[in-house]
Amino acid sequence: MSAAIPVIAIDGPSASGKGTVAALVARALGFAYLDSGALYRVTAYAAGQRAVPLDDETALARMAQGLNLRFEGGEVFLDDAPVGDAIRTEDAGRTASKIAALPALRAALLDLQRGFRKAPGLVTDGRDMGSVVFPDATVKVFLTATAEERAQRRYKQLIEKGFDANLAALVQDLKERDARDAGRQAAPLKQGADAHLLDTTGVTIQEAVDRVLNWYRQS
């Protein structure tokens, strides 16, 4: 049954806007939404709460398999408690990027991610949604933008939320994350041969959403 349930997989680098686009596409179609990056952020957060060392790959993987997670109304819940604000900091993002390179942890989260595939359909975003997690996805998109454009977006988000931010530091951090995500051994970040390229530099959110919806309707 699951293979017959449509999946729109949107992959791309950090702060490219894929989460916003994916959530809006899901809303337009009435599909479920999975923010796979949040899984790694929540794992890092849970490890800190439970005193699990971030360099203990086996312990992290074991803990991740038992995470009680749900996405609801734009919020992420761990053990029924909202953790969205706690996992959206820059420190949380850097930590998530580092542990996401651990093969055992990625394997542990694989079944958890695939479990979100339920009727009428799923829209998901991440780094390897189309290449590894849902290789049979109905539509695959690689959504990107320049590091400078992505840093500007992240800067605006942080300032609006009351966090301190340095634009130059954000550009450097994004470039380092890109290199780490693209160079890791397990599921490196890259555009698949069967994925539509969507560069959102200078493109509005609605324009990006419309392009993805058109690709799905034409599939």
Identify the pLDDT of residue 111: 86
Identify the pLDDT of residue 157: 85
Is residue 3 scored above 80 in pLDDT?
A: no
d(CA 10, CA 141): 5
Strand partners, 101: none
CATH number at 2-217? 3.40.50.300
Burial call 21-49: b when 16+ CB within 10 Å, e when fewer: bbbbbbeebebbbbbbbbbbbbbbbbbee
- Residues with Cβ within 8 Å of 57's Cβ and at least 6 positions away in sequence, in order, are 102, 103, 104, 105
Q: Write out pLDDT tens, residues 108-145.
A: 999 889 999 999 999 999 989 999 999 999 999 999 99
Domain regions of the chain by residue span: 2-217
Give whichever of 21-35, 81-95, 97-111, 151-165 has the largest mean pLDDT.
21-35
Q: Write out pLDDT tens, residues 41-96.
A: 999 999 999 999 999 999 999 999 888 988 877 788 999 999 988 998 878 888 88
Identify the pLDDT of residue 43: 94
Identify the pLDDT of residue 199: 95
Identify the pLDDT of residue 1: 52
Relative to beta strand 75-78, strand 69-72 is antiparallel
